[in-house]
Amino acid sequence: MGVSLCFTTSATYTLPSFSSSYNRSPSLSQTLFFPFCPKPLFSLNLNLNLNLMSKSKCGNVDDHTLTSSLFDYHRFDHQLLQSIAYDSLVWASLHGLLVGHKSIQNSGTVPGVGLVHAPFALLPNPFPEIHWKQACHLAPLFNELVDRVSLDGKFLQESLSRTKKVDEFTSRLLDIHSKMLEINKKEDIRLGLHRSDYMLDEQTNSLLQIELNTISSSFAGLSSLVSQLHRNTLSHYGKLLGLDSERVPANNSVNLFVEALAKAWSEYNNPRAVIMFIVQAEERNMYDQHFLSVYLRERYPFCVGYCTKKKNVELSNMISKEKMLYNTHHITTIRKTLAEVDQEGELLPDGTLAVGGQAIAVIYFRAGYTPADFPSESEWRARLLMEQSSAIKCPSISYHLVGTKKIQQELAKPNVLERFLENKDDIAKLRECFAGLWSLDDSDIARKAIERPELYVMKPQREGGGNNIYGDAVRETLQKLQKAGSEEDAAYILMQRIFPTTSAAILMRDGCWHKDHAVSELGIYGTYLRNKDKVIMNNQSGYLMRTKVSSSDEGGVAAGFAVLDSVYLT
């Protein structure tokens, strides 16, 4: 059952029935009241923690029992959790762990209006260190794979040819890609800010990839804050909880994303050009984006004027303090919607993209990944205009297509990775994390999915959460497609359903904490920058942990299904 608490004049505990596969009393519901407590006030029974740690040292408790008991967060005293929750809300408010509240007008357009803390887990999620290291080591391999696949235009066009016939959004993307192939458009400077998402399958104890994101890999800003929050919480409450703040890995994703954007801007070699964020007209997650733009301006000043021969030498390399005052240039960022790019943008004769009279060095897409971002031809004109320009696209149309579900499924086929990579050890490492992936033109796998739909997930070529098909709906959708006898099945792929370990979690949303049983998904960020034959950076660049109630199929934070979390290494 779930347990929730909201900070009001009187704190309220509500215990609603929990609907899932677990056996629980279906009707238990109770509300408890006690005075609101603005200062830490709790009485604790620490005997369980102390006894477990003592017995562990004597060898009387195995590691599994100790770990299971330590991370049974539901056993903690209510007043202790209230105190941690209050402190966490204060920390989140002071440090910018914020989003716009959906009920407040203009909260998605005007900064500072309708602020509420981003949904987060009160305490970090346990995750095996061996699988953590595996996921981190895979990031540079996936970065390189994306780049190499992006250069094979024939592979992308042929792999998505059936999908193109039935999926208009993918078809329009392919049309732009085809136009670039026709004019032999080269992207000499290629920037990727990726995120590979994984779940730990409980039955096989295997780390399996959910998807590879190549466009709008969000939460680099806020995920860094959640890791800091949890380290701060454990530095204050760790002894009471039996947890060590040092077991929460440092998460530098925001700085590493900023570094990649700044280096790409430098490679473009026009100190007057700006970085353009492509955003949605309404964006409640704007503060995650603003962390990047503010850090770019504040942490990456470059010198111009007398030192231009040294090509954007950083301030830290300059000798004369007096010269700094007169020759420092800060990277400028602007935010535009696709429609605004269409209205204000133009392609100059030398290939430079100018928007509102400003030359664009780097285009960073935080929109353009869903059909909803293209309500008219105006947005499609903007997408084509940007692709035709010399600006560095993050992602380019090729990188974007590599991140589609169909390409993920094609890469999982036998001998396909060998088309792009030479190192057998690298290929084996990548293949080890692939879940089962199939095309729906495989009649045998379609039959198995109809018979056992609970073992599969149907995925369309969409990003953003809330698009996948689960359970009985898999059977119903497959039977409907078969009855229609069309090629509509090409709009989907089938994926093995992963069943991760369920753990006790405490989820914070809208000022309330809620006890529930949850599952988590680990995303590993990767940054990749290349200029022709020179790889400038290829790194693992922080992480995103998302946790959702185990009864929920979908897992997007922005879509309202999950909360931000961090890793506690076990």
Active-site residue, from 153, 242, 464, 511: 464
Nearest-angstrom CA–CA distance, 397 and 384 = 9
Q: Does 247 qualify as catalytic in the annotation? A: no
What is the distance between the alpha carbons of residues 25 and 19, in angstroms, rounded to a whole number? 10
463 is in an annotated binding site: yes
* Co-location of 540 and 469 in the same domain: no
- Do residue 476 and residue 442 come from a single domain? yes
Tens digit of pLDDT for each residue in 462-473?
A: 776 668 899 999
pLDDT digits (tens, 9 = 90+) for 249-287: 999 999 999 999 999 999 999 999 999 999 999 999 999
Q: How confident is the model at residue 320 (pLDDT cuts 50, 70, 90)?
A: very low
Instruction: Give the DSSP per-residue string, 131-169.
Output: HHHHHHHHHHHHHHHHHHHHT-HHHHHHHTHHHHHH-HH
Residues facing 540 on adjacent strands: 526
- Annotated active-site residue 224? The verdict is no
Q: Was 216 annotated as part of a binding site? A: yes
186 is in an annotated binding site: no
Catalytic residue among 546, 550, 555, 566: 546
Quick one: pLDDT band at residue 57, thresholds 50, 70, 90? Answer: very low
Nearest-angstrom CA–CA distance, 321 and 303? 12
In a domain, 169, yes or no: yes
Quick check: is 213 catalytic? Answer: yes
CB 81 within 8 A of CB 506: yes
* 112 pLDDT tier (thresholds 50, 70, 90): very high
Question: Active-site residue 405, yes or no?
Answer: yes
Residue 478's domain spans which residues? 436-497
Residues 6+ apart with CB under 8 A from 75: 48
Q: In the chain, how long is the greatest CA-to-CA distance? A: 76
Give the strand pairing for 392-394 and 358-365.
parallel
Residue 205 labeled ligand binder: no
Mean of the pLDDT values across residues 303-314?
43
The mean-pLDDT minimum among 1-10, 289-298, 333-342, 377-386 falls in 1-10
Closest to 557 measured CA to CA, from 566, 549, 548:
548
Residue 10 assigned to a binding site: no
Instruction: Report, as an integer, the average pLDDT of 540-557.
Output: 82
Residues 545 and 483 in one domain: no
Tokens coding 183: 């004019």
Domain shared by 92 and 159, yes or no: yes
Instruction: Please give the full DSSP string across 394-454, using - where no structure is assigned.
Output: ET-HHHHHHTSHHHHHHHTSTTTGGGT---HHHHHHHHHTPPPEEETT-HHHHHHHHH-GG
Domain membership flag for residue 31: no
The amino acid sitting at 78 is H
- Please identify, among 497, 513, 533, the residue that sits at the C-terminal boundary of a domain: 497
With contact defined as beta carbons under 8 Å apart, do 12 and 6 qualify?
Answer: yes
User: What pLDDT was estimated at residue 556?
Assistant: 56
User: Has residue 22 been placed in a domain?
Assistant: no
Q: Are residues 370 and 485 in the same domain?
A: no
Question: Could you tell me the pLDDT band of residue 309, with boundaries at 50, 70 and 90?
Answer: very low
467: domain CATH number is 3.30.1490.50
The verdict on residue 210 lying in a domain is yes
**45 pLDDT above the threshold of 60:** no
Tell me: do 372 and 239 sit in the same domain: yes
* 278 annotated among ligand-binding-site residues: no
Strands 274-278 and 333-336: parallel
Q: Is the pLDDT of residue 435 over 60?
A: yes
Percentage of the chain beyond pLDDT 90 is 71
pLDDT value for 461: 83
Total structural domains in the chain? 2
Shared domain check, 441 and 351 = no
Distance CA 556, CA 560 (A): 6
Q: Are residues 481 and 335 in the same domain?
A: no
Q: Share the mean pLDDT of the chain.
A: 85
DSSP 519-539: EEEEEEEEEEEEETTEEEEEE
- 556 and 503, same structural domain? yes
Predicted local distance difference test score (pLDDT) of residue 2: 59
pLDDT in the model for residue 24:
29
Q: Which of 34-43, 70-79, 93-102 has the lowest mean pLDDT?
A: 34-43
Mean pLDDT of the 314-324 span: 40
Segment 503-532 mean pLDDT:
95
| Residue in this structure with the two tokens 């887990």, named with its chain if needed | 121
What phi and psi, each to the nearest 5 degrees, are found at residue 261? Answer: -65, -40
* CA-based nearest residue to 177, from 401, 476, 489: 401
pLDDT of residue 67: 55
Does 81 reside within a domain? no
Cα–Cα distance for residue pair 76/545, rounded to 1 Å: 23
Q: Are residues 166 and 278 in the same domain?
A: yes
Asked whether residue 555 carries a pLDDT value surpassing 80, the answer given is: no
Contact status, residue 273 vs residue 361, Cβ threshold 8 Å? yes
Catalytically annotated residue among 164, 459, 475, 515:
459
Q: 42 in a domain, yes or no? A: no
User: Which pLDDT score is estimated for 464?
Assistant: 61
* pLDDT at residue 181 greater than cutoff 50: yes
Please identify, among 450, 477, 497, the residue that sits at the C-terminal boundary of a domain: 497
The closest alpha carbon to 271, from 233, 239, 227, 314, belongs to: 314
* Distance of alpha carbon 188 from alpha carbon 151, whole angstroms: 11
Is residue 218 part of the annotated active site? The answer reads yes
Please say if 344 is a catalytic residue: no
Same domain, 169 and 282: yes
Determine which one of 190, 231, 393, 405 is catalytic. Answer: 405
Q: Which of 164, 190, 195, 406 is catalytic?
A: 195
- The answer to the question of residue 312 being in a domain is no
Residues 189, 287 within the same domain: yes
| Mean pLDDT along residues 158-185 | 96
309 is in an annotated binding site: no
- What average pLDDT does the segment 192-209 reach? 96
Please report the pLDDT score of residue 61 as a whole number: 44
User: Where among 481, 497, 513 does a domain terminate?
Assistant: 497
512 domain residue, yes or no:
yes
Q: Could you confirm whether 459 is annotated as catalytic? A: yes
User: Has 299 been labeled as part of a binding site?
Assistant: no
Give the percent of the chain with pLDDT over 70: 81
Beta pairing, strands 31-35 & 534-549: unpaired
The pLDDT of residue 70: 75
DSSP 108: T
